[in-house]
Structure 1
Amino acid sequence: MSSGDLDPALLHHIVNTLGWRSLRPLQEAAVTPLVCGDDAVLLAPTAGGKTEAAAFPLLTRMTGERWSGTSVLYVCPLKALLNNLLPRLETYTSWLGRTAALWHGDTPAGARKRILAARPDVLLTTPESLEAMLVSVNVDHTSFFSGLQSVVVDEVHAFAGDDRGWHLLAVLERLQRVAGRPVQRVGLSATVGNPEALLTWLQGSGANKRPGQVIAPHLIDPPSPGAGAEPAPMPSGGPTAVPPGDIQLDHVGSLDNAATVIAALHRGEKRLVFCESRRYVEELGEKLRAKGVTTFLSHASLSLDERRRAEAAFAEARDCVIISTSTLELGIDVGDLDRVIQIDAPASVASFLQRLGRSGRREGSARNCLFLALDEDGLLGAAGLLLKWSQGWVEPVVAPPEPRHIVAQQLLALCLQENRVGEHLWQEWWNGLGPFGTSTAEPIVRHLVDQGYLDRDGGMLFIGPEAERRFGHRHFMNLTAVFTAPPQFTVLQGRTEIGRTDPSLLTERLDGPRRLLLAGRSWQVTYIDWRRRRCFVEPVDGGGKAKWISAGFGLAGSHELTRAERQVLLGEDPPVKMTQRATSALRRTREEYLDRVHPGGTLIIQDIGGHMRWWTWAGHRANATLAATLGTVVVPGQHINDRWIRLREDLTARTWSDVTKDMTDQLCLPDVDERALRGLKFAEALPPRLAEATLSARLADMESAAAVLTEPVRFLRRER
């Protein structure tokens, strides 16, 4: 076997303990650059051996350079993924007389004490746990991280696309300063459309930047059709050959019908079903159990024990169905899975690729996914997504712009970490990382001091009384997470936690007993402890309701996927198998939208009631940008959607021409709803105008809005 520069003892175990006759292409390609200390992003389809591609070279470096203490951090976005990876990394490190350990929010206090007493060589953790270790009075972070040499970021695209990515980069810059050396950064990902940009993002500030490269052998020499591989991502979104895989699209019309289809098909097989909401997971789980199907559930509001039952089903059960939100989308080892089923459509092509990659891992099997659309909109969304997928297009991973609230959080966290920070020295901790530049951060520092979040004395900054009041609960643990979770009540049967539910289910008016649906079962509420946010229940037969209110803006269609839906309505079919039900429903949908799409541009339609709509098919963020820009002709206060914008009823073609002339150079940021500001964690630590500016920038899609404004517009009056 060709293995480059791997440690001989490690190589012995790869051959004799694992029984591998050769390394996979990614693993082979990663050896030399990682052993040499380069930064890298490793790309491969799901189950492509990315963990080993990173671990084997880094363990070789560890031995050859005689690293001591905790020298490698393995960072993941999900605790479940860390739990899944720990046995493998414990095995690999033990071959070389080294150790690996796990530290996240569910790690018991005793295990943490053992880690602090005898530092493992590899620590598996989350960014939030790293932050907690840096600010904790119980952890000597200078000593603990003094040996840090390398960081592996698994599912790096999941970080880069939201604020957890900015938080991770900021924490890594602080860790480098604590360690006193630049730290090698290795990202693992299966689905990105812009890998070079992702590598640049991962490398952070650029201070002491190492050589870096994208390692993706499957993009250079892709598998032959029929191998069940994912299509090569294409940043430009250009067309390619139809990707391989058994993909089917069906229209079932309701969740009841979806349960009937799932129960009837593929009996004896292990099936993983993805839903786009926790409520659908619960309702489908209850319906399948009523049909006698062995069913497991996984979503973020279930207790740890309930989630672990679903994860264990991957490895142990056979004839069963596992229903999940995106919690089981990322790289948890799914074992011998037979089928993937998708209810309606996921939010992105990248998400679909992750889910598709759960299947087809047995030799001789193909990757597969059965889409079950619950209504015509779900069918259209799935068809549009599959059309973009068939063209080889994957969303580029783009970091959210202007993360000023993360700057505020990091300034407070740094003052907790160091107790006191020089008022002119704090910038050095982030080495000029994008949002931490002087022009962005100094107004935030002034606001934090003015509002009492920070105190200033003798040229030093330290935690102030307002930060103590807002974030000091439980030793400032609320300061370590950069996302806001809506308040929920813990649901208990006796002392056993089942999960958490939305408080609105406990306060809404109703006749008769109050019943909840959680973990796929119905429960009757027996007592509510309002002060401690606890709800006690007993099992009942049916009648339970499930409900959660999501934080932030919820799902919003992108410009590319909404335009793909328009292409489907104009007659373009995704090159997948479609059932007769799906074909008939798609035909009805095309007839319904016949006068709302046109191949030559957009349409402004006045219906018989006088209402005027501009059918842009531009996506949510582009429509929000257009509505803000064209305020004089747009109906104020409307709810923005992906497909159309409500216009004033007295609008004429001449007025439209005058208003939109040269408007592509005068685009405006969308207005911000006050309720949205409450979903931006640490927004209260920003001047209001900066908090609003942050959200406005994130709601906008200037490029797509400008493109739509250049398209021809037709005015139509609907006569029927």
Structure 2
Amino acid sequence: MTTADLLHPVLLHHIVNSLQWQGLRPLQEAAVEPLLAGEDTLLLAPTAGGKTEAAAFPLLSRMAAEGWSGTSVLYLCPLKALLNNLLPRWERYADWLGRRAALWHGDVTASRRRAILAARPDVLLTTPESLESMLVSRNVDHRAFFAGLRTVVVDEVHAFAGDDRGWHLLAVLERLTHLIGRPVQRIGLSATVGNPDRLLTWLQGSGAGVRAGRVIAPDLPVAATATAATPPPGEIELDFVGSLQNAATVLAALHSGEKRLVFCESRQAVEQLGSLLRERGITTFLSHASLSADERRRSEEAFAEARDCVIVSTSTLELGIDVGDLDRVIQIDAPSTVASFLQRLGRTGRRPGSIRNCLFLTRSGDALLEAAALLVLWGRGWVEPVIAPPEPRHIVAQQMLALCLQEHQVGNQNWPQWWNGLDPFGRSATPIIRHLIDQGYLDSDSDMLYIGPEAERRFGHRHFMGMTAVFVGAPEFTVLLGRDELGRVDPALLTEEVQGDRRLLLNGRSWRVTYIDWRRRRCFVEPAENGGKARWTTGGWAGLGFELSRAMREVLLGADPPVKLTHRAAMRLAQEREERSALVHPGGNVILRDRHGDDLRWWTWAGFRANATLAATLTEVVDPVQRFDDCQIRLRANLTRDEWRKLIADADQRLCLPEVNKKALDGLKFSEALPERLALATLASRLADLDGATAVLQGPTRFVQT
């Protein structure tokens, strides 16, 4: 008897006869027993590694064997497009056993939602934000709807855990388990991460250490610090092209007849490259977050059906959305993490006999250096650990308000019970609750808490829809061609002075603006021949991490990535090493004084957050105006070597959090529901890298004169 024989016989029959599989993949085999036993699990596999089926087959078997009724499985994803993509598979597998799967998110029609409420599906595919909307909605009897819940599957769990959506997800799951009066099995699906055990513990929430759990990763080495004797398999090439125009020329000349997915690191670059490729006669499609859902869907569907074509995308296509069988992945410049590169690389090599491949086309010396450093880390088998952002006080405030919406009134002493002891949603949140009451976000009467007038004023529009999203979206204008929405653009494009027509670049095409509705934040356009401009404001802090910055130093010192370098890339990399030779030394960090003596820089190669921490700690030696970036910190020009040694002697024992400008609070949603000092402390803790700063301070540093 094999492990697959533990699955329901009807399901097993269809796996063999309908899918015509000869057997399960290693991950699917390994997942059967723990999932049937109800264990919490983290399933790790590369993109297209069969993770969805590894969860679906045991859960559907258990559903049938144990007679689960009502909505017993929740399947959560970070993207609506990914849910749309997965629904047909879940519908097919569930139908084999006479069960139903359904979809619920913001694009699902009201009539379809009413049908779901009237006849609950066995499997519900949704996002955490839509799940919370169901909990707070007056149209959903959430106690009855979720009464039969047994299991929650979180797809792309790493995409949640690294930011505030992860805290939101955990908090909503704790409220859900408290609501139904029992814990539910939690299953995470993920690509390679550097800290799988910690990610599983994070996913278990209040059940960590109480419920059984295991990581299942038969196809992957998952140690964050693993050093491979040989680089992972794949056909990787690093090129230097110097400009986006040259990148378009290379793309037009290479791999004719193949299906190519091109990743860019900004929406602006996607638009510009898409336009350049179309000018060269290449069938091109675009995908990024500021295109309308309809435009993205049309692009992705057309690309999936085409052959000789290119789709240019930001990270929106990094996750497991199916765009057909790819031949090539091309990366413009470099993604910011190894994990992101692995996701993109995993889009290729799915056909039997094909291998995974990626061509890097870098546009500057900095981008070439960053790409080489990333590939050095990849070659060693290193992947970033996924770590939840610290001190999510604003999410605590949001959750308390959402709970009061859900329950209408909450006891002012027993509210921590709703999160089952999960930090930071317990008693430590009392100062935040007190502030919510003092500022009118909550009303208090007869030992009960209610939604207050200030919460109604700030968040009450459209039935508190803004309450369920934990990110602040940049203010953008909707672009309309007649009644059809094309996407959204930065308002700066509509306010800057122009000569002649005002033209936009959106979906790789130029548009002439015909009318701007300032009150409703809309602009109307008509097609134009050329001349469009694209721009979007990016929020948050840009910057590289400690490990990637350190790897850039290693590359300058001579480390080569284990990939093919074109002649252009090798020549430019040699030039970068020569020009920056004074900024690195094999014996430690460098403090470099220029020949005129008026510029002194500490080349730490420690990343933005570590340098921010060092600059905040060493205010006596840091230049107060031009301070730091990813690689260096500017010091006082008159600093001597003896002063330096004295001032940093105990610096690793007195590290400070970076200072945060109050204007940065605009990017922290619900920060207005916090005392200002706590909101600033939250941002400061997220800007800091204490470990990286300590590593720099404890390493050797030498003064050098150019």
Please, what TM-score do these two structures have when normalized by structure 2? 0.99
Counterpart of 1:383 in structure 2 is 372
Give 2:149's aligned residue: 148
Q: CA deviation at 1:434?
A: 1.6
1:565 maps to 552
Aligned partner of 1:447 in structure 2 is 435
User: Which residue in 1 is equivalent to 2:211?
Assistant: 210
1:181-330 counterparts in 2 under 5 A?
Answer: 181-206=182-207, 209-219=210-220, 232-330=221-319
Residue 7 of structure 1 pairs with residue 5 of structure 2: no
Residues 639 and 83 of structure 1: CA distance in aligned 2, closer, same or farther (over 3 Å): farther
Tell me: CA distance 1:207–1:607, structure 2 relative to 1, closer, same or farther (3 Å): closer
The aligned amino acid for 2:634 is R
Quote the Cα distance in structure 2 between the aligned partners of 1:279 and 1:233. 34
1:336-364 Cα deviation digits (max 9, x unpaired): 10000000000100000000000000000
- Report the counterpart of residue 159 of structure 2 in structure 1: 158
Give the partner amino acid of 1:622: A
After the TM superposition, which residues 502-517 of structure 1 pair with which residues of structure 2 at under 5 Å, given as runs?
502-517=490-505
C-alpha distance in 2 between matches for 1:495 and 1:268: 36
SS at match of 1:52: helix
Q: CA deviation at 1:397?
A: 0.5
Q: Secondary structure at the match of 2:57?
A: helix
Which shows bigger deviation, 262-271 or 110-119? 110-119
Deviation at 1:314, TM superposition (A): 4.3
Q: Does residue 628 in structure 1 map to residue 616 in structure 2?
A: yes
* Structure 2 Cα separation of the partners of residues 158 and 313 of structure 1: 27
For residues 84 and 303 of structure 2, the distance between their equivalents in structure 1, rounded to whole angstroms, comes to 14
Q: Indicate conservation of the 8 Å contact 1:155/1:190, yes or no.
A: yes
> 1:520 maps to what in 2?
508
Offset, 1:4:
4.2
Cα deviation for residue 86 of structure 1 reads 0.4
In the superposition, relative to structure 1, how do residues 73 and 637 fare at CA in structure 2: closer, same or farther (>3 Å)? farther
1:497-529 deviation digits (Å, cap 9, x = unpaired): 100000010011122111000000000100000
- Are the aligned partners of 1:70 and 1:148 in contact in 2 as well (CA < 8 Å)? yes
CA deviation vs aligned residue, 1:459-486 (integer Å, no higher than 9, x gap): 0001000000000010000000001110
CA distance in 2, matches of 1:645, 1:206: 43
Structure 2 partner of 1:580: 567
2:576 alignment partner in structure 1: 589
Matches within 5 A, 1:346-385: 346-385=335-374
Q: Is the 8 A contact 1:2 1:23 kept in 2?
A: no
Give 1:88 deviation, angstroms.
Answer: 0.4
Query: Is 1:533 aligned to 2:521, yes or no?
Result: yes
Question: Does residue 694 of structure 1 match 2:682?
Answer: yes
Which segments of structure 1 move beyond 4 Å, counting only runs of 4 or more?
none
Q: Which runs of 5+ in 2 are unaligned?
A: none
Give the number of aligned pairs. Answer: 704
> In 1, Cα distance between the equivalents of 2:202 and 2:5?
28
Residue number in structure 2 paired with 1:228:
none
**2:627·2:635 contact (CA, 8 Å) conserved in 1?**
no
Structure 1 position 240, deviation (Å): 3.7
Matching residue of 2:390: 401
- Cα deviation for residue 2 of structure 1 reads 4.5
C-alpha deviation, 1:54, in angstroms: 0.2
Note if 1:461 corresponds to 2:461. Answer: no
Matches within 5 A, 1:97-136: 97-136=98-137
Distance (whole Å) between structure 2 residues aligned to residue 705 and residue 160 of structure 1:
24
* Counterpart position of 1:433: 422
Instruction: Identify the residue that residue 669 of structure 1 maps to in structure 2.
Output: 657
SS in 1 for 2:547: helix
Instruction: Return 5+ residue gaps in structure 1 as ranges.
Output: 220-231
Q: d(CA) in 2 for partners of 1:474 and 1:639? A: 44
Residue 645 (1) aligns with residue 633 (2): yes
For 1:54, the equivalent position in structure 2 comes to 55
Question: 1:657-679: CA deviations, max 9, x gaps?
Answer: 11000211110011112222110
**Does structure 2 retain, via aligned residues, the 8 Å contact 1:240–1:392?**
no
**Retained in 1: the 8 A contact 2:178–2:420?**
no
Aligned equivalents of 1:304 and 1:640: distance in 2? 39
- Equivalent of residue 470 in structure 2, options 482, 490, 514: 482
Offset at residue 186 of structure 1 (A) = 0.3
Q: What is the distance in 1 between the residues matched to 2:679 and 2:163?
A: 16
Q: Distance in 2 between matches of 1:670 and 1:543?
A: 42
Q: Is the 8 A contact 1:677 1:692 kept in 2?
A: yes
| 8 Å Cα contact 2:206-2:420 kept in structure 1 | yes
SS state of the match for residue 219, structure 2?
helix
Q: 1:542 to 1:639 in 2, by over 3 A?
A: farther
Which amino acid in 1 is paired with 2:537? Answer: I
Q: CA deviation at 1:237?
A: 4.6
What SS does the corresponding residue of 1:535 show, helix, strand or coil?
Answer: strand
Structure 1 residue 606 corresponds to structure 2 residue 593: yes
SS at match of 1:330: coil
* 1:145-184 Cα shifts (integer Å, max 9, x gaps): 1111100000000000000000000000011112221100
The one-letter code sitting in structure 1 at the alignment partner of 2:150 is Q
Q: Which amino acid aligns with 2:50?
A: G
Structure 2 Cα separation of the partners of residues 332 and 600 of structure 1 = 46
SS at match of 1:203: helix
**Residues 633-662 of structure 1 deviation map (CA, whole Å, 9 limit, x = unaligned):** 111243531000111111010110110002
Deviation of the 1:35 alpha carbon: 0.6
Structure 1 residues 19-30: aligned runs within 5 Å: 19-30=20-31
**For 1:134 and 1:240, how far apart are their aligned partners in 2?**
51
- Give the structure 2 partner of residue 223 of structure 1: none
Return the alpha-carbon distance in structure 2 between the equivalents of residues 545 and 315 of structure 1.
Answer: 28
The alpha-carbon distance between structure 1 residues 140 and 638, as it changes in their structure 2 partners (threshold 3 A), is: farther
Counterpart in 2 of 1:16? 17
Per-residue displacement from partner, 1:88-110 (whole Å, max 9, x unpaired)? Answer: 00000000000001111111111
Q: Which residue of 1 aligns with 2:320?
A: 331
Cα distance in structure 2, aligned partners of 1:41 and 1:155:
11
Give the superposition deviation at 1:208. 9.1
CA distance in 2, matches of 1:179, 1:93: 24
